[in-house]
């Protein structure tokens, strides 16, 4: 794989196009290497997220036009078929795909960018539907991916009308998800790391659900979502527990709700106050009178923290009763 580099670092599978002297153009050997490399990384259990990037000034200028001119038409079919193996691998991946796109993403390079869930580009990046300029039709799944990314009319403007997007236009159209000045690879690496460090399996399931949204009816999708969220809860219990623990800690860090704090439901009268810190509710006493859904005196938590919200205990009573102070 002379023109494709792969490495796995900290759960990030990096797939790098490394033919910078020709803008990472795809000839037949490169397209075949790209297919083998992408499938190998996605089969690696160490890989939690895939990062697609490229060496040099350009992400990928598409097919190698010089090689196309030197070969018979069947050669183009062979290159496209090899590229399509990568397209299917990335589209069907159960991991999030991040792309760093600099310079030109043209032809099949545009398709590779569209296969990513998070695309970091620059203001000077150009997304180029290059096929029509040389009398060819789209490949790399562009005729399927682009309408789903930007809508049918904008896809036609690019595929038929030849519209080229710079970075700001790509961001506005939804082809890029973020712009940075300079090299986009460090930011893309940071995004990949954040996915790899979190609930990456859940994120992979989420990307699959989103990418197949047009392929199923709502009722079937709801069944899938219900099963998926249960599976994610079982798998990622520690993440949920850690988040809940941090939330309870924040609840202990704040101290007073002043007069005029609104209640969250219709309420009036003298109330018995309870204080909720995280999941713990401590019994209190009659501390204040509520007038017109607002407190007439400060309420101070008997625990460390600020009373950030005042809630009617059962959300129904309108003439006195219990109030819960939510401390944050």
| 162 shares its domain with 228 | no
- CA-based end-to-end distance of the chain: 55
At 48, give phi and psi (nearest 5°). Answer: -100, -25
Q: Which residues of the chain have pLDDT under 50?
A: 249-260, 262-293, 296, 300-309, 311-328
Residues 176 and 34 in one domain: yes
- Residue 78 within any structural domain of the chain: yes
Residue at 48 is within a domain: yes
Domain count within the chain: 3
Q: Do 218 and 317 lie in a common domain?
A: no
pTM: 0.71
pLDDT at 263 (0 to 100): 46
Radius of gyration of the chain (CA): 27
Residue 231's domain spans which residues?
200-235
Q: Would you say residue 130 lies in a domain?
A: yes
Name which of 62, 53, 20, 26 is nearest 164 in CA terms: 62
In tens, the pLDDT along 263-296 reads 444 444 444 444 444 334 343 433 444 444 455 4
Within this chain, do residues 149 and 218 fall inside the same structural domain, yes or no?
Answer: no
Instruction: State the pLDDT at residue 237.
Output: 58
Are residues 127 and 16 both part of a single domain? Answer: yes
> Where would I find the beta strands (DSSP E) of 238-318?
256-257, 269-277, 280-291, 294-295, 299-300, 307-312
Q: Do both 75 and 22 map to the same domain?
A: yes
User: Would 248 be classed as within a structural domain?
Assistant: no
The pLDDT value recorded for residue 6 is 97
Are 62 and 129 found together in one domain?
yes
In a domain, 126, yes or no: yes
Residue 240 lies in a domain: no
In a shared domain, residues 283 and 317: yes
Residue 79: exposure state from Cβ atoms within 10 A (0-12, 13-18, ≥19): buried
187 and 222 together in one domain = no
Residues 216 and 274 in one domain: no
Burial (CB count <10 Å: 0-12, 13-18, 19+), residue 218: exposed
CATH at 90: 3.90.226.10
- 77 and 96 share one domain: yes
Residue 190 lies in a domain: yes
- Examine residue 182 and state whether it is found in any structural domain, yes or no: yes
Tokens (6 digits) for 50: 């895939």
């Amino acid at each position: 794989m002379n023109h494709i580099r792969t490495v796995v670092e900290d759960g990030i599978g990096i797939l790098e196009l490394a033919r910078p002297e020709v803008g990472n153009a795809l000839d037949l050997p490169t397209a075949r290497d790209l297919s083998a490399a992408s499938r190998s990384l996605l089969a690696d259990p160490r890989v939690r997220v895939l990062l697609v990037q490229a060496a040099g000034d350009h992400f990928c200028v598409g097919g190698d036009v010089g090689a196309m001119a030197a070969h018979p038409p069947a050669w183009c079919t062979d290159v496209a078929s090899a590229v399509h193996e990568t397209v299917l691998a990335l589209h069907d991946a159960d991991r999030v795909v991040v792309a760093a796109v600099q310079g030109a993403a043209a032809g099949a390079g545009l398709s590779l960018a569209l296969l990513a869930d998070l695309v970091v580009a620059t203001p000077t990046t150009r997304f180029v539907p290059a096929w029509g300029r040389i009398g060819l039709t789209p490949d790399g799944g562009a005729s399927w991916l682009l309408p789903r990314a930007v809508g049918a009319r904008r896809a036609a403007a690019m595929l038929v009308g030849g519209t080229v997007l710079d970075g700001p236009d790509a961001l506005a159209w939804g082809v890029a998800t973020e712009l940075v000045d300079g090299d986009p690879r460090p930011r893309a690496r940071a995004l990949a790391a954040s996915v790899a460090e979190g609930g990456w399996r859940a994120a992979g399931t989420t990307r699959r659900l989103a990418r197949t949204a047009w392929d199923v009816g709502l009722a079937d999708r709801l069944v899938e979502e219900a099963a998926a969220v249960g599976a994610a809860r079982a798998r990622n219990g520690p993440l949920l527990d850690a988040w809940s623990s941090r939330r309870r800690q924040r609840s202990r860090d704040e101290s007073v709700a002043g007069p005029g704090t609104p209640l969250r439901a219709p309420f009036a009268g003298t109330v018995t106050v309870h204080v909720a810190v995280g999941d713990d509710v401590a019994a209190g006493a009659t501390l204040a009178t509520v007038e017109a859904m607002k407190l007439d005196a400060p309420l101070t938590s008997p625990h460390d923290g600020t009373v950030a919200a005042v809630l009617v205990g059962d959300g129904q009573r309108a003439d006195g009763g219990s109030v819960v102070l939510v401390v944050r």
